[in-house]
A and B are shown apart, each in its own frame.
Chain A
């Protein structure tokens, strides 16, 4: 980007970038039509503004002044073991034989990935010339009413991503890690597509980490799940970005009948992070848990948008989110549960709680229920509060110093969300990781 480009708005820069991008796309590629459609929509709509109800608490252009340009200097670690050992979580969590897919600045790093022949898991890349039929089919369908301008941008610009197919009757739970490192940063876009056939089980663990960099990061990412019947899927995501990263994550999931889907996210840092999660319970007797913890300090802004739609009878969903917000950070949570008329006997519970640690911190919550069936149990609740002075005094009266007392209470606030992680090993590791992050956030004044 030249200096003259900086004079124009980021939105115009992105549009210009899109125009150049679509002109270079292969018209024969199976994604071309969807890219072109997305381009036309983005050209028409641009970036979402605060007048859009789903974006009312997040002003993108206030945070995004220009498209960052990627550095040409690459400082990638030399080998896979060094790379993995840099990440505490990976060291503790990974078993030999687990699949590890490593991406750096939106691009898959084959030399850093660990790919083993697995009878029941097929892995390929979105940048391959030939896309598997299942992936093409999933990619080209409409995923949700909530597909928005950022999703269009991602559809148009996605350069790479993992295509993961877990085959039918895969009863041995496999761990698949998708690691993304913001290394030299810049502007990048990627998409993962995951298909889980009937009667299959899998753990998908996503790690998103930012290295220190002088270059800002702007990215869009999406993960599209198609999950069959009688499956058990555990998804855990950990993302710790630095405060020069702007990220737009989108998750779309179609869940079949008699399936259990547990998805847990820990997010921290970021100049602006939008976490959009859209789940359709399409089959009866499915049981899903969408939960997470947002830890914000410095000038972070994390906006979680969650929509769960019950489209079949006898489905259960639990949404439990907790945020800890310190310094000048801002947390946003918009949660929507929709129960279609056909979805009788739905049980849906949503809770959103925020703990504010500073007088400059902010939390905006908007829980919503849209119920069209008449025999359901649905509830939602939202709380925003501070550390209880009575609790603090009680701990201090037992000799526990103020800092330690606050730390205990902050940990206590989020501890129960970890119950949503069903895999014991993942739970233990993420518990440790979260504790470390909590220790930092509870002190505040975090700066990268």
Chain B
């Protein structure tokens, strides 16, 4: 369903991803761990279509369509969702306006009838309540003055509304306390389904206590150097990366 094949990406002539490949089947959760600078966030950004990167080779396929040929908004409406490590603050755009624009864009792109405003509000409130997001937060400017936990919950709210096929969580656990981490993980777990897949990028095994992965990959110098099950993360937590970095 989601497949990255032989992806080589550079920034200012420096190769960050080197022949990177991963194959994610429907319903699977893949965790990617790796030391700083191994290219994890670059992978997330390139998949989502951020500029500043030069793709030298490879493909990013979602249901056999190469996302690299599409703009970021088209990648999103095709079903890719990137949960940002640092969600962007946008003063002047309320969270509600943003969510409405986003959801409408998805509905239009997928030839679905756009919700009426009352139906949209009802939907947002339902999804928000599940993530302990109150009305006040939705009325505030997007991510402005939000705590780390609120920002990440807001990301999960967007994920819940947009109904993506593949979700890439870029260090969603960074900056979260234990309670916020649990809440975010619960939000993600509720969204797990047979048709939706996840790539969870993290530095810490802790997140994987809450979001159980089917596969754990170790990424180093732009490619996957080891793949295992969830016990690999436990092993990493104990012994670090040295045993795997050749």
In the complex, how many angstroms separate the beta carbon of A429 from the nearest chain B beta carbon? 19
With an 8 A cutoff between CB atoms, is A412 at the interface? yes
Contact assessment for A409 and B105 in the assembled complex, using a CB-CB cutoff below 8 Å: no
Given A391-B88, A394-B88, A399-B73, A408 and B82 contact (CB-CB distance below 8 Å)? no
Q: Are B72 and A412 in contact (CB under 8 A)?
A: no
Q: In the complex the two chains form, what is the Cα distance from A28 to B71 in whole Å?
A: 73
Residue of A nearest to B93 (CB): A412
Inter-subunit contact B97/A397 (CB<8 Å): no
| Cβ < 8 Å to B, chain A residues 382-411 | 388-391, 393-402, 404-405, 408-409, 411
In contact, B84 and A400 (Cβ under 8 angstroms) = no
Given A389-B51, A393-B51, A408-B101, the answer on whether A398 and B92 have CB atoms closer than 8 Å is no
Bound CA span A416–B90, Å: 12
- Complex formed: what's the CA distance from A408 to B99 in Å? 12
* Residues B88 and A411 in contact, CB atoms below 8 Å apart: no
Contact A399 B93 (CB under 8 A): no
Give the complex CA separation of A401 and B70 in angstroms.
12
CB distance A398 to B76 under 8 Å? yes
Are B51 and A397 neighbours in the complex by a CB distance under 8 Å? Answer: no
Total cross-chain contacts (CB, 8 A): 80
Smallest Cβ-Cβ distance to A416: which chain B residue = B92
- Known contacts A391-B90, A416-B91; is A396 also within 8 Å of B82 by CB? no
Interface size class of B (residues with CB under 8 A): 20 to 34
Q: A55 contacts the other chain (Cβ, under 8 Å)?
A: no
Quick check: is A120 within 8 A (CB to CB) of the other chain?
no
Q: Is A413 engaged at the interface, CB distance under 8 Å to the other chain?
A: yes
B141 CB contacts on chain A under 8 angstroms? 412
Across the interface, do B90 and A412 meet the contact criterion of CB distance under 8 Å?
Answer: yes
A415 at the binding interface (Cβ < 8 Å)? yes
Interface string of B6-38 (1 = CB under 8 A from A): 000000000000000000000000000000000
Contact residues in A for B184 (Cβ distance below 8 Å): none
Does B197 count as interface, using CB distance less than 8 angstroms? Answer: no
Kindly state the separation between the CA atoms of A73 and B93 in the bound complex, as whole angstroms.
47
B162 within 8 A of A: yes
With A391-B88, A408-B93, A412-B92 given, is the CB distance from A399 to B162 under 8 Å? Answer: yes
A397-B49 in contact given A402-B71, A404-B101, A408-B101 (Cβ < 8 Å): yes
Please, how many angstroms separate the alpha-carbon atoms of A411 and B90 in the complex?
A: 11
**Is B93 within 8 A of A401, CB to CB?**
no
The answer on a CB contact under 8 Å between A393 and B92 is no
Contacts of B158 on A, CB cut-off 8 Å? 398
Which residue of the partner chain B has the closest CB to A403? B73
Q: Is the CB of A397 within 8 A of B105?
A: no
Contact A400 B90, beta carbon cutoff 8 Å: no
Complex CA distance for A391 and B141, rounded to whole angstroms: 13
A399-B109, A413-B92 as given contacts; A394 in contact with B84, CB under 8 Å: yes
- Cβ-defined contact, B76 with A411, below 8 A: no
CB distance A396 to B76 under 8 Å?
Answer: yes
With A394-B87, A394-B90 as given contacts, are A399 and B51 in contact (CB-CB < 8 Å)?
no
Considering the chains assembled together, what is the distance between the CA atoms of A395 and B101 in angstroms? Answer: 9
Interchain CB contact under 8 A, B93 and A393? no
**Complex: chain B residue closest to A388, CB-CB:** B88
Tell which of A391, A399, A404 touches B76, judged by Cβ atoms closer than 8 Å.
Answer: A399
Which of chain B's residues have a CB closer than 8 A to the CB of A411?
92-93
16 A-B pairs (CB sep. < 8 Å): A389-B51, A391-B88, A393-B88, A394-B90, A395-B101, A395-B102, A398-B102, A398-B162, A399-B73, A399-B106, A399-B109, A408-B97, A408-B101, A409-B93, A412-B91, A412-B93
Identify the A interface with B (CB < 8 A): 388-391, 393-402, 404-405, 408-409, 411-416
B positions within 8 Å CB-CB of A: 48-51, 71-73, 75-77, 82, 84, 87-88, 90-93, 97-98, 101-102, 105-106, 109, 141, 158, 162
